[in-house]
């Protein structure tokens, strides 16, 4: 069952989706998220990884990590296809997200968090230690061009909170594939359970939108 939890951390996405501007690379280094008392006492880190560390490379790639389980806001307005074969950037498949902007839950926005494990809103241990990564790289395009979306990593709060977060800010997508980067320099990446996030709003896309994603990867 799709995640229907709308938590306080999700609401921060609304502010970033109000202004339309082209952002190819956002060197945004927000203040580190405060760890829970459980994390502070245990001092644990996430699971160790090797780079490149893929969130999505191809539908059948065994090296994919995180699960697009955290559906937020107007989750009824979202259709997700991880096996889309409509002009992928690389390989045989890409991710296709259709947003109808019907405001099914009355929120006026919608998004998806890629989580580990599935449906983890900071309630269980499951983060990865991404220390050493300098960039989160991904490719994105819109079906028509002009679609507005925001992409993030980290930021999940709970008993086991992510240790940091970063965002592209609002992006106006092109009809052609473009490469985007989130600068991770200086961030505390020792525990990240929210590996990737997409969010958009009906204000920015009143007629809805269709976007495509591919090659989502953490690199050194």
Enter the pTM of the model: 0.83
CA angle 193, 30, 49 (to 5 degrees): 35
**How does pLDDT run across 146-203, given as a tens digit for each residue?**
999 999 999 999 999 999 999 999 999 999 999 999 999 999 999 999 999 999 999 9
Asked if 85 and 178 count as a contact pair (C-beta separation under 8 A), the reply is no
Counting other chains too, the contacts that 18-23 makes at CB distance below 8 Å and 24 or more residues apart are 18/170, 18/201, 18/203, 18/204, 19/170, 20/148, 20/170, 20/172, 20/204, 21/169, 21/170, 21/172, 22/171, 22/172, 23/168, 23/169, 23/170, 23/171
**How does pLDDT run across 56-112, given as a tens digit for each residue?**
999 999 999 999 999 999 999 999 999 999 999 999 999 999 999 999 999 999 999
Query: Average pLDDT over the chain, rounded to whole?
Result: 87
Domains, in order of start, for the chain: 23-219 (2.60.120.430)
**How does pLDDT run across 109-120, given as a tens digit for each residue?**
999 999 999 999
Q: Which tokens sit at 147?
A: 């679609």
């Amino acid at each position: 069952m799709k995640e229907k939890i709308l938590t306080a951390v999700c609401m921060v996405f609304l502010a970033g989706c109000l202004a339309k501007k082209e952002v190819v690379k956002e060197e945004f280094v927000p203040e580190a998220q405060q760890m829970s008392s459980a994390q502070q006492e245990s001092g644990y880190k996430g699971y160790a990884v090797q780079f490149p560390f893929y969130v999505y490379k191809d539908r059948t790639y065994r090296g994919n990590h995180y699960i697009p389980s955290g559906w937020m806001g107007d989750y009824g307005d979202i259709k997700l296809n991880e096996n889309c074969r409509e002009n992928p950037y690389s390989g045989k498949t890409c991710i296709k997200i259709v947003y109808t902007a019907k405001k099914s839950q009355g929120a006026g926005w919608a998004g998806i968090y890629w989580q580990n494990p599935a449906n983890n809103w900071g309630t269980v241990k499951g983060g990865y230690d991404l220390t050493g990564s300098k960039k989160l790289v991904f490719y994105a395009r819109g079906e028509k061009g002009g679609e507005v979306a925001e992409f993030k990593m980290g930021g999940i709060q709970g008993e086991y909170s992510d240790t940091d977060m970063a965002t592209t800010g609002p992006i106006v997508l092109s009809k052609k594939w473009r490469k985007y980067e989130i600068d991770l320099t200086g961030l505390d990446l020792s525990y990240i359970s929210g590996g990737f996030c997409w969010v958009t709003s009906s204000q920015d896309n009143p007629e809805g939108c269709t976007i495509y994603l591919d090659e989502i990867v953490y690199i050194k």
